[in-house]
Structure 1
């Protein structure tokens, strides 16, 4: 007998909201983090990223957290420290929406650049970042832990003031 797969959850992009992350969102964010990353951040690490230099946001669909990013800003440079979309709704352009929001928000704050690091094996993310104007500037050899040892981090930047 053939298994019946449930229909994918389709998000109505017209009803999405992006709002600042609050302490009450940590549980939902941590649950997404745990499903998305092989080496997830701890709740304690998420909690340490609140303060004047941090700006973290969540993506809501029907009042449900379906994505988030954690970023910091120092001297005109934004660092995207973490980002994820609920696995059940990936592939619908939601990461693009969240990243574009980060770029627009950063530009409105007169930031000059957005920096990030991504696993070299994460080809989907690399393609998305390139599509949004990020360029590879360097690599950190053996930066990320993985199943078979370690893998490189690709360092990327998007210049906002050009």
Structure 2
């Protein structure tokens, strides 16, 4: 996969303490309790968008031109996204019944397995993010208890 960068706009924390990142190519606003969290959320949304297009055999539009983006008090950030480059041929072993079940619902086994792998990776990323948030919250509670 080749790494590309798409622009976003990082906004400072609002009254609720949430940072925001607007992603023009996807027309979506991501948020988080820190700038890093908002950036990670925006990058994940952008990656899922590009992955979904790739699963359909479509190519995402080129990155928005920085000069065309209204900042409205924010600052430009660049969000990484991995684009499919070339296909890799795999020789794998799998339960025959599972293969038959896949073939019964999917016209293209490779596309199905690629989409399933992307979905599972997104789930794992979400779980790791949630674990990181829980650990951060736990450390914060511990510091407050010590005070």
With a CA cutoff of 8 Å and minimum separation of 6, indicate the structure with the bigger relative contact order: 2
More helix by share: 2
Greater strand proportion: 1
What TM-score results when the alignment is normalised by the length of structure 2?
0.30
> TM-score if structure 1 supplies the norm length?
0.27
